[in-house]
Chain A
């Protein structure tokens, strides 16, 4: 088992090096003068010379690459032109918004997608099945940004005044704000160090912070603000999950042990949920793990629509203002995150699938 984990970790190292190389190569493909492309048109000769010296742009390519890798290893992802801050700070500051949105979207897609898939498989070829599959097909064909705009239009304008009205932008209603839970609890903290950063990070997750401070009015407000963006980001994964669950369940339901379980006289529901679903969920772990990547892609397209200032918004601003450094660093961070996620999914199979353990 340990060798399996070690082998998986080792095999992702070449991929990580490859990612660094691709992003490095992308940085060198910027047309024209890299200094002025990254620091802006108005950079003076002196500033540029310093920039070129610091990043070793006057040195041979292999040396440049090693300098680049060294910078990233030290956690130096460069500075954002637009925000005038280190990119790492920006990510830590903005990530809670995106994380909250992604988790909400994931909850939405899993909680609805899996039951829909199970029902479609059990009631194979029924009206529910056909309807679900038609909706799933439409779901995977929708542009995320369009769905977001349409949801905002329907729930904020058409349903205005009804109980279904939902806020189309921001994380909380104007005027509402939550003090961080550690302040409410009266903790005396030095405002520095990793521990404090972590607490700050948690306190920026509005839903968790409001629960910790026992402010249920703020919790419900935060959840209301999350619904529309989460639906927008979660619909495509929902459709994929529903389709996968259905085909996976159909496979499992046709197997002998399921028939045996039924023949033993076990209740139908118990067979479906205990015997069939548990095995059918196996391939779904991979799909859900990989959908996290599409949640991130969806966040870039939807955060701007719903006025959320998360990581996706930073990336959007970076794209529109040609903030190359930020786009490049984000690409690295997200790709590395993706690789780690894949690794975790593979490792989780040890616990989920005994066959992997025995190999």
Chain B
């Protein structure tokens, strides 16, 4: 961070500022990437994510069945039938269903594949929304200070006073159940975390000399804040965002499990699990696989987030390398 600010200070009119900035960005990210690459757990997380992303993109190609298709009369299968895998000794004359048949006689494997789309979408959209809103509020609070800071941060304190899942439940109960409303609720409850991070980073950068230089050159408040300060305060937000996706996916799954999120027959992991919760003793595969899918996705984001934090914070990385 310090190196970045120093080189910015020495900016001379002859140099093209755009070119200069992109050169710096590459160095920061290059070192971060190299550090990240050395961390096995982070690479493992990244690997899972790439895999999940491919699964989500190519879901129609991978899935053997339509996730909504009821198989009654099409194939000789029973409701909640256990998995039938030919490699593991399931008779060849029976149709193969890797993860069994669900309570509505649909192929569970295909539904799980399509569920990856929803989960990734849920994580990315809620966190993007929360980051944008939280960053705007947090950086305004940090940069302007005084009463603006007080008002914004007190509102954030109030939101933080609620356990996140319970506030999300309250919001969705009132807005009405559904995937969109669940997304809105999760976005709202995660705003304060980003606002706090953004404010803290803006505060730490605000007094640096390159900001003063910008100000003395006559840069507008908005330009200084979003063009000069924020790019230097971005790394903690990226880390918080990656870890935030994990929490958002878990919360969304919990809301769906309670019947407040995605509604059946949508192939959403939490919804699938919630619908078959009472069948855990008779058809455990219907509960096991969706939960495992949630866990793996959340784990991937957690591992990557932890790795990014260590990679982007040289202080932490030095200690971890001891």
Contact = CB atoms under 8 A, between A and B. Distances in A.
Nearest to A297: B165
Nearest to B303: A137
A125 to B, nearest CB: 9
Given A19-B158, A153-B280, A153-B284, A146 B291 contact: yes
A138 interface: yes
B257 interface: yes
Interface residues of B, number: 48
Contacts, number: 140
A335 interface: yes
Contacts of B77: none
B295 A142 contact: yes
A115 interface: no
B208 interface: no
Contacts of B302: 137, 140-141
Given A143-B253, A300-B165, A319-B259, A327 B159 contact: no
Contacts of A296: 163, 166
A137 B254 CA distance: 19
A320 B274 CA distance: 13
Interface stretch (A1-9, A22-30, A104-112): A22-30
B277 A327 contact: no
B155 interface: yes
A14 B161 CA distance: 11
Interface stretch (B17-25, B132-140, B171-179): B171-179
Given A137-B303, A145-B277, A18 B176 contact: no
A18 B299 contact: no
Interface in A314-331: 315-316, 318-320, 322, 324, 327-328, 330-331
A315 B163 CA distance: 14
Interface in B298-322: 298-299, 302-303, 306, 319
A327 B161 contact: no
A18 B258 contact: no
A21 B158 CA distance: 9
A150 B174 contact: no
Nearest to A22: B158
A328 B155 CA distance: 19
A200 interface: no
A149 interface: yes
Contact of B163 (A30, A297, A318, A324): A297
**Interface size class for chain A?**
35 or more
B159 A143 contact: no
Contacts of B298: 141-143
A150 B287 contact: yes
Contact of A150 (B167, B270, B291, B306): B291
Contact of B299 (A141, A293, A305, A342): A141
Main secondary structure of the interface of B (DSSP, over half): helix
A65 interface: no
A294 B163 CA distance: 7
Contact of A19 (B161, B246, B273): B161
Contact of A23 (B170, B250, B277): B170
Interface in B148-192: 154-155, 157-159, 161-167, 169-171, 173-176
A327 B163 contact: no
A141 B169 CA distance: 20
Interface string A122-148: 000000000000000110111111110
A301 B296 CA distance: 20
Residue of B158, B164, B246 ringed by the most chain A CB atoms within 10 A: B158
Contacts of A293: 163
Given A146-B291, A334-B163, A319 B257 contact: no
Contacts of A68: none
A306 to B, nearest CB: 12
B166 A334 contact: yes
A149 B176 CA distance: 27
A141 B170 contact: no
A324 B295 contact: no
B51 interface: no
A19 B167 CA distance: 11
B260 interface: yes
B174 A319 contact: no
A245 B259 CA distance: 36
A31 interface: yes
Contacts of B166: 296-297, 300, 330-331, 334-335
A319 B155 CA distance: 26
Nearest to B287: A149
A145 B273 contact: yes
Contacts of B257: 143, 145, 301
A146 B174 contact: no
B176 to A, nearest CB: 7
A157 interface: yes
A182 interface: no
B155 A146 contact: no
A320 B281 contact: no
Contacts of B303: 137
Contacts of B259: 319-320
B169 A327 contact: yes
Most A CB contacts (10 A, CB to CB) among B154, B162, B176, B299 go to: B162
B174 A338 contact: no
Given A26-B174, A141-B298, A331-B166, A15 B277 contact: no
B226 to A, nearest CB: 28
Contacts of B155: 18
B225 to A, nearest CB: 26
Contacts of B171: 26
A339 B287 CA distance: 36
8 contacts: A140-B302, A153-B284, A300-B169, A319-B169, A319-B259, A320-B259, A327-B173, A335-B161
Interface of B: 41, 154-155, 157-159, 161-167, 169-171, 173-176, 246, 250, 253-254, 257-260, 270, 273-274, 277, 280-281, 284, 287-288, 290-291, 294-296, 298-299, 302-303, 306, 319
Closest 8 CB pairs of A and B: A146-B291, A18-B158, A141-B299, A141-B298, A293-B163, A297-B165, A331-B170, A149-B280
